[in-house]
């Protein structure tokens, strides 16, 4: 017995080893067969990263797992598009598949973490249409009998996504977190399939969002008639959000069309069903909600689907005298009446319409009523609606769970009638938009974590007429700011319904407008980052809304911006294409006047500006202390007191608080100092110069009438050389400094010799007072370092050398001039017959040593010799 068991054990072990060997032998063949079959029959490329064939995962069947499977379209229109990608695909096959020389039967398919992307372009081409036509007829080498057949007993899809985009019908369908299973014999001619599906569904048609991640669950037993391609719903229950629906009927696929006959209804009439269809994000938790009254949904979809027809629709929604109350809120919504129908009675898509005969509700004593009809839903939606009533937002928030981070208060009153069609809005044919009535908002308060201060609108009144929407009154407060506005809106419906720009013209006034009341503080905004394991500040800049196309004429008594106080601000602001264009903006600032024009552009990630500023009679001390840009104009800005004129043309980038990024600025400026006193103690640069140059007192420097030109580029301010005067010292200054307050300047002083002091005492001693006044020396001071820590170097040695050369040259010239004077005297005496000249030339010994006199004497002798020769040459008579 033991021997028999041992033999049996050895036999089993040999069989297992043989099976493992067979798996390793056939694994590559089976995978290659799958790949070749697909690539031969499809106009697409099938690829994968790994494959694994196992006997034990699904024993006694065989399991083939394929990882990172992709199917990529090769047709010209969609070449390169990935139609399907699956992280894992598992095929369950009978063990006999390993020994089959013909077709391999597939019993089960399991797909996980897949993405299916279906696209239909505007011409009707579909990216999933990848089957090759007449493959077996055109390819003689093809073997139809070899490959795979499907004898499915079940299939599953886990945690997958389906994307459907149809450009022709403007339809977008997104299924996320899809989990679907099906069990049944799909190879049978007749049978049934037991399915379970759950997913998040988003649906958009013609740019209108109807479902947004709504939870959908479906349990359905589907009868299969594969001979007639007919699929019948036998036992079915669906859950849309928390709204239950039961349905029955069938779908039959014919050669040229499809037939649909489906009816559905809610299994109960509790009004909670209505709340259940609202997305959970808005309806919150329905546990404990008290309801009264009924809510029913019933309908049918019946007819054929082809290129001309759609099924006829008859869907009804109704509720009468219903109410609901959330357990943690003090108020209830009462007297709810709903009567609406979605119908199509012809099967022509353009004839689909939605009729809302009644939609009313009450909260306390406030009643809101509405009715309307939307016709031509599939072609050119045309709206007829009436809105009438009052809503107290404070009561609304106490009856319905609005978003908790926002606090709404106020009363909205409406009395409106409107008629418009979407084509009129798209084409801006506003004469076809008929809207009349008015809306009023009183004591509206809005607060949120996204804004700095609550916004209170004490009163806003809007009148609607066919031509325009008029803002008759708008009074608001936020923080320290008050705003009053009137104006017109030219295409409110285009903005609301058709993604058009909001265009309008407004007159806005304010007694006090603080910019900080409307700007979120950047220091309070943080985002998590993995870098450095901590938090970092958000760097997203503020954006001017792209939908605004408005002109605002502004008038404000006081505008507070950062540490600036602007008075009597007037001007025009144009908002368009994410840009703010300013024109004719004037203000009183720093005891002077400011005029500016230009634009702020937020189209790119980094906002930028391009501005022209005209400054008239600014108080220098106030402006240089109040504006960082002005502080960068001069190293001695803080020491100057008086008045300033300047014109600046600047462009550059803005930071998150819309302040200029100094290192990015380029442009130029012209500055003129009207009157100015100097307080050298406030300027380290002047103090340093005072310590180096003792012949000048910079506190007495006169800058009145100073004019200079500046240019900005590459983080530097370049100053064109300009002239100054201190007493009888001429000064020329030029150079540049950086916005980092580094300096590179050169100041040249034309210094009279009398100021040079002990450095040139011996030289100056040779000059008389008149000579000291006449001789001046250029002295250069190089100014480096920074505004706060200047470094001064001078060329005093060169100045002394220059003075020495000037004195030598001056003495030499003086000697020559003196010699010329003596020569003139001698010639004068000779010609005048004065005998003293001879005596003065021949008798004074000291004169004989004077080189000038010697030169003059030689010159005279030569002159006389020449005359004598001439006389001697005359022939005798």
pLDDT above 70 as % of the chain = 74
Q: Give the per-residue SS3 of 705-745.
A: CCEEEEEEECCEEEEEEEEEEECCEEEEEEEEEECCCEEEE
For residues 609-637, average pLDDT: 81
Confidence of residue 315 (pLDDT cuts 50, 70, 90): very high
- Report if residue 853 sits inside a domain: yes
> Average pLDDT of 194-202?
90
Mean pLDDT of 416-427: 84
Which residues have CB under 8 Å from 1's CB, separation 6+?
A: none
Return the pLDDT at 134.
56
Q: Which residues have C-beta within 8 Å of that of residue 365, sequence separation ≥ 6? A: none
pLDDT range class, residue 187, cuts 50, 70, 90: low
Instruction: Give the residue from 715, 741, 765 where a domain finishes.
Output: 715
Q: What is the pLDDT of residue 760?
A: 61
In a domain, 569, yes or no: no
Q: What is the pLDDT of residues 61-116, one digit of tens each?
A: 777 788 888 888 887 778 888 888 989 988 887 766 555 555 567 778 889 999 98
Judge whether residue 864 has pLDDT over 70: no
Number of domains into which the chain is organized:
3
Confidence of residue 313 (pLDDT cuts 50, 70, 90): very high
Classify residue 605: in a domain, yes or no: yes
Q: Do 687 and 828 reside in the same domain of the chain?
A: no
Same domain, 694 and 817: no
Q: What are the CB-based long-range contacts (under 8 Å, 24+) for 333-338?
A: 333/361, 333/362, 333/363, 333/399, 333/400, 334/361, 334/362, 334/363, 335/360, 335/361, 335/362, 335/367, 336/271, 336/293, 336/360, 336/361, 337/361, 338/274, 338/295
The two three-digit tokens of residue 682, written as one number: 């406030």
Out of 715, 741, 764, pick the residue that ends a domain: 715
pLDDT of 13 reads 41
**What is the dihedral sign for C-alpha 77, 80, 81, 86?**
positive
Lowest average pLDDT, out of 111-115, 674-678, 680-684, goes to 674-678
What is the spatial distance between Cα 848 and Cα 737, in angstroms, rounded to a whole number? Answer: 63
Q: Do residues 337 and 358 touch, judged by C-beta distance below 8 A? A: yes
φ, ψ dihedrals at 375, nearest 5°: -105, 170
> Of 361-375, 635-649, 804-818, which range is least confident?
804-818
Q: How confident is the model at residue 855 (pLDDT cuts 50, 70, 90)?
A: very low
Would you state the pLDDT for residue 498? Answer: 66
* Same domain as 15, residue 156: yes
For CA atoms 404, 408, 411, 412, the dihedral sign is negative
Rounded to whole angstroms, the Cα distance separating 263 from 266 reads 11
Name, in order, each residue with C-beta under 8 angstroms of 146's C-beta and a sequence gap of 6 or more. Answer: 33, 37, 102, 103
Tokens in use for 257? 């069309």
Question: Is the domain of 690 the same as that of 826?
Answer: no
Does this model's pTM top 0.85?
Answer: no
Q: Decide if 109 is inside a domain.
A: yes
Which three-class secondary structure state does DSSP give residue 850? coil
Tell me the pLDDT of the chain averaged across its residues.
77
Q: Which residues contact 78 (CB under 8 A, 6 or more apart)?
A: 119, 125, 127
Residue 863: is its pLDDT beyond 70?
Answer: no
pLDDT in tens, 607-617: 888 999 898 98
Tell me what percent of the residues of the chain surpass a pLDDT of 90.
Answer: 19
The pLDDT, as a whole number, for residue 610 is 92
SS3 (DSSP) at 230: strand
| pLDDT for 587 | 93
639 conformational bin, left if phi > 0, alpha if psi -120 to 50, beta if neither: alpha
Helices marked H in 758-795 — which ranges?
761-764, 769-774
Question: Which region among 102-111, 229-238, 457-466, 686-695 has the lowest average model confidence (pLDDT)?
Answer: 102-111
Q: Yes or no: say if 794 and 781 are a contact pair by the CB < 8 Å rule.
A: yes
383: its two tokens: 């709206």
- Decide if 123 is inside a domain: yes
- pLDDT score recorded for residue 289: 85
Banded model confidence at residue 472, pLDDT cuts 50, 70, 90:
very high
pLDDT band at 461 (very low <50, low <70, confident <90, very high): very high
| Residue 877 maps to a domain | no
List the single range of 273-282, 329-338, 833-842 with lowest mean pLDDT. Answer: 833-842
- For 502-531, what is each residue's pLDDT tens digit? 788 999 999 998 877 766 544 443 334 444
Lowest mean pLDDT segment, chosen from 689-698, 732-741, 851-860 = 851-860
**H/E element, 46:** strand 44-47
- What pLDDT is stored for residue 100 in this prediction? 55
Same domain, 817 and 692: no
3-class DSSP state of 453? coil
pLDDT digits (tens, 9 = 90+) for 436-457: 899 998 998 877 665 678 888 8
Cα 122 to Cα 170: distance, rounded to the nearest angstrom:
9
Instruction: Residue 67: name the closest of 90, 46, 84 by CA.
Output: 90
- 824 pLDDT tier (thresholds 50, 70, 90): low
Q: Token pair 């010292």 is at which residue?
A: 729
Per-residue pLDDT at 813 exceeds 80: no
| pLDDT value for 342 | 92
- CA trace torsion 421, 425, 428, 431 (10° rounding): 40
pLDDT score, position 98: 58
Q: Which residue has the higher pLDDT, 404 or 735?
A: 735
Q: What is residue 875's DSSP assignment? A: P
- In angstroms, the Cα distances linking 824 to 653, 850, 861 are 75, 15, 15
pLDDT over threshold 70, residue 369: yes
Mean pLDDT of 478-487: 91
Instruction: Say which residues have a Cβ less than 8 Å from residue 391's Cβ, sequence separation at least 6.
Output: 363, 366, 368, 411, 412
Give the per-residue pLDDT at 371.
94
Is 70 exceeded by the pLDDT of residue 471? yes
pLDDT attached to residue 138: 46
Looking at residue 528, its pLDDT comes to: 40
Task: Judge whether 842 lies within some domain.
Answer: yes
Across the range 172-189, mean pLDDT stands at: 84
Output the pLDDT for position 724: 86
Per-residue model confidence (pLDDT) at position 235: 80
**At residue 849, does pLDDT exceed 50?**
no
Tell me whether residue 694 is in a domain. yes
End residue of a domain, out of 687, 715, 743: 715
pLDDT of the residue at 435: 85
Paired tokens of 89:
């695909």
| pLDDT tens, position by position, 525-571 | 333 444 444 444 444 556 777 878 889 899 999 988 777 788 999 99
Q: Are residues 35 and 160 in the same domain?
A: yes
Residue 300 pLDDT more than 80? yes
**Tell me, what's the pLDDT at 137?**
45
Q: Same domain, yes or no, for 818 and 686?
A: no
Tracing tokens 């139809």 back to the chain, one arrives at: 144
State the pLDDT at residue 551. 92
**Domain range for 670:** 598-698+708-715
Query: 634: pLDDT confidence band, cut at 50, 70 and 90?
Result: confident
- 393, pLDDT greater than 90: no
Confidence of residue 323 (pLDDT cuts 50, 70, 90): very high
């Amino acid at each position: 017995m033991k021997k028999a068991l041992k033999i049996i054990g050895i036999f089993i072990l040999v069989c297992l080893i043989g099976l493992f060997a067979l798996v390793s032998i056939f694994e590559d063949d089976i995978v290659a067969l799958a790949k070749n079959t697909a690539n031969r029959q499809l106009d697409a490329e099938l690829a994968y990263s790994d494959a694994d064939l196992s006997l034990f995962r699904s024993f006694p069947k065989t399991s083939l797992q394929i990882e990172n499977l992709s199917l990529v379209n090769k047709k010209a229109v969609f070449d390169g598009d990935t139609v399907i990608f699956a992280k894992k695909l598992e095929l369950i096959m009978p063990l006999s598949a390993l020994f089959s020389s013909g077709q391999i039967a597939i019993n089960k398919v399991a797909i996980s973490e897949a993405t299916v992307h279906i696209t239909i372009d505007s011409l009707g081409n579909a990216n999933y249409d990848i089957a090759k036509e007449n493959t077996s007829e055109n390819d003689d080498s093809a073997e139809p009998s070899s490959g795979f057949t499907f004898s499915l007993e079940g299939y599953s899809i886990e945690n997958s996504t389906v994307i459907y985009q149809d450009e022709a019908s403007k339809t977008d369908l997104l299924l996320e977190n899809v989990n679907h299973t099906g069990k049944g014999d799909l190879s049978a001619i007749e049978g049934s399939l037991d399915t379970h599906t759950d997913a998040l569904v988003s649906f958009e048609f013609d740019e209108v969002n109807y479902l947004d991640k709504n939870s959908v669950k479906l349990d359905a037993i589907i009868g299969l008639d594969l001979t007639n391609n007919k699929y019948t719903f036998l036992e079915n229950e669906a859950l849309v959000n928390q709204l239950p629906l039961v349905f029955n009927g069938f779908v039959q696929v014919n050669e040229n069309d499809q037939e649909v006959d489906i009816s559905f209804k809610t299994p109960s009439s509790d009004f909670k069903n209505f709340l259940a269809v609202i997305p959970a994000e808005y309806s919150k938790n329905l546990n404990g909600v008290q309801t009264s009254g009924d809510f029913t949904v019933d309908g049918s979809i019946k007819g054929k689907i082809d290129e001309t027809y759609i099924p006829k629709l008859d869907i009804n929604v109704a509720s009468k005298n219903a109410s609901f109350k959330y357990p943690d809120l003090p108020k209830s919504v009462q007297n709810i009446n709903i009567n609406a129908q979605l119908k199509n009675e012809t099967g022509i898509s353009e004839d689909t319409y939605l009729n809302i005969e009644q939609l009313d509700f009450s909260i306390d004593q406030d009643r809101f009523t509405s009715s309307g009809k939307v016709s031509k839903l599939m072609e050119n939606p045309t709206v007829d609606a009436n809105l009438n009533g009052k809503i107290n937002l404070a009561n609304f928030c106490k009856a319905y769970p609005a978003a908790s981070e926002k606090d709404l208060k106020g009363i909205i009153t409406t009395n409106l009638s409107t008629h418009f069609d979407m084509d009129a809005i798209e084409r801006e044919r506003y004469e076809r938009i008929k809207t009349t009535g008015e809306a009023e908002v009183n004591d509206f308060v809005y607060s949120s974590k996204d804004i700095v201060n609550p916004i209170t609108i004490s009163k806003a009144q809007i009148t609607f007429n066919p031509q325009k929407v008029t803002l008759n009154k708008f009074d608001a407060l936020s923080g320290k700011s008050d705003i009053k506005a009137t104006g017109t809106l030219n295409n409110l419906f285009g903005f609301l319904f058709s993604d058009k720009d909001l265009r309008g013209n407004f007159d806005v006034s304010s007694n006090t407008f603080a910019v900080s009341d409307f700007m979120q503080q950047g220091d309070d905004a943080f985002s998590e980052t993995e870098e450095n394991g901590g938090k970092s500040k958000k760097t997203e800049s503020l954006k001017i809304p792209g939908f605004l196309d408005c002109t605002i004429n502004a008038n404000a008594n006081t505008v507070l911006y950062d540490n600036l106080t602007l008075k009597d601000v007037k001007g025009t602001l144009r908002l368009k294409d994410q840009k703010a264009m300013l024109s004719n903006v004037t203000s009183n600032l720093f005891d002077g006047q400011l005029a500016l024009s230009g634009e702020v552009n937020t189209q790119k990630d980094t906002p930028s500006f391009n501005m022209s500023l005209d400054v008239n009679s600014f108080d220098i001390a106030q402006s240089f202390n109040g504006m960082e840009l002005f502080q960068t104009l001069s190293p001695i800005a803080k020491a100057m007191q008086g008045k300033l004129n300047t014109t600046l043309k600047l462009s550059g980038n803005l930071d998150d608080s819309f302040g200029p990024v100094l290192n990015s600025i380029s442009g130029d400026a012209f500055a003129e100092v009207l009157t100015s006193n100097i307080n050298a103690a406030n300027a380290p640069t002047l103090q340093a110069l005072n310590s180096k140059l003792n012949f000048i007192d910079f506190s007495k420097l006169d800058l009145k009438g100073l004019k200079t030109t500046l240019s900005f580029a590459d983080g530097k301010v370049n100053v064109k050389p300009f002239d100054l005067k201190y007493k009888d010292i001429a000064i020329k200054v030029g150079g540049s400094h950086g916005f980092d307050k580094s300096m590179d300047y050169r100041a040249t002083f034309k210094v009279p010799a009398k100021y040079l002091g002990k450095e040139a005492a011996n030289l100056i001693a040779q000059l008389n007072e008149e000579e000291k006044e006449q001789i001046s020396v250029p002295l250069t001071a190089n100014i480096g370092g920074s505004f706060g820590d200047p470094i001064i170097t001078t060329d005093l040695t060169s100045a002394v050398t220059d003075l020495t050369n000037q004195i030598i040259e001056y003495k030499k010239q003086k000697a020559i001039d003196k010699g010329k004077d003596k020569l003139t005297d001698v010639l004068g005496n000779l010609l005048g017959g004065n005998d003293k000249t001879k005596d003065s030339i021949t008798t004074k010994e000291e004169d004989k040593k004077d080189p000038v006199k010697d030169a003059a004497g030689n010159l005279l002798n030569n002159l006389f010799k020449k005359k004598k020769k001439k006389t001697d040459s005359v022939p005798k008579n």
